[in-house]
Amino acid sequence: MPRDTISTDSMAEASRNRAEFSGHGNAKGAAGYRPDNEEHVENLVVQKPDKGFDDIVIGAAWDNVEVEQAGFIGKLLKKVTKQGVDIDVGCLYELQDGSRGCLQAFGDMFGDYNNAPYISITGDERTGDKEGDDEGIHVNGQQWSQIKRMVVYVYIYSGEFNWETIKPKITIRIPGEQPLVVTPAIKKTDLPVCAVAGIENDRDAIKFTNFGEYFPGHAEMDRAYGYGLQWDDGQK
């Protein structure tokens, strides 16, 4: 993740008390920022049907940002344009055999639907202009028994750095269930990574937990949830 957009104060806030447990299982690392008025835990358990789960789809959508056209004439006429915002959806995953990893468009880590990790990322939308989902994650429901847990997240890669304007929306579609829509509460705009939800295998059922937790980077999110991956900065 680019580090020049992260304020020192935000880094300090999200990293304080790192030596203490974050509260996410046995993970060591600072918990992220959560808006004070947000319900921190919202659980939903979906039992496995007799025939097993079908395709589980996690879609991410967001708005482009309206910006005032530069120059005297543009301001006088109050002209606005749409500025593309590049948000990526991704997930941390752990399989039942203990293998762990990350899937996201950055780094071309698109995964594999039919083979381990049985999760795949669809495309890399860089503007937010598409109808419906801008990006998505597909989980092979027929292989759900191979998956132990996931953390679904979104992060701002480039563009206007303002979650409140972008208005991200995550929709989790489990066959046979009503779509579950998650819109993270927004009160802070200088933390670019949002851990949206946890999805766990609970004796073959799907257990969903609403997180809505903000971090200054992937590594901080990783430490909070205890995945232990290595992270490097880079560019697309």
pLDDT given at position 14: 41
User: Is there a contact between 137 and 152 (Cβ–Cβ < 8 Å)?
Assistant: yes
State the amino acid at position 231 in one-letter form: W
pLDDT given at position 106: 81
Strand partners, 155: 88, 193
pLDDT given at position 27: 65
Query: pTM value?
Result: 0.76
d(CA 102, CA 109): 7
Tokens of 217: 């980077």
Longest alpha-carbon distance in the chain: 65
pLDDT given at position 127: 45
d(CA 195, CA 214): 6
| Total residue length of the chain | 236
CA of residue 63 relative to chain centroid, distance: 16
* DSSP per-residue letters across 50-93: TT----EEEEEE---EEEEPSSHHHHHTT-EEEEP-EEEEEEEE
CATH topology of domain 8-225: Lipoxygenase-1 (2.60.60)
Of 196, 197, 226, 227, nearest to 209 (Cα)?
A: 197
Strand partners, 103: 91
User: Is there a contact between 161 and 192 (Cβ–Cβ < 8 Å)?
Assistant: yes
Counting as low any pLDDT under 50, the low residues of the chain are 1-19, 37-41, 67-69, 124-130, 236
Backbone angles phi, psi at 227, to 5 degrees: -95, -30
pLDDT given at position 10: 43
pLDDT given at position 183: 80
User: Is there a contact between 224 and 32 (Cβ–Cβ < 8 Å)?
Assistant: yes
What sign does the CA torsion over 115, 225, 174, 46 have?
Answer: positive
Of 198, 224, 194, nearest to 19 (Cα)?
A: 224
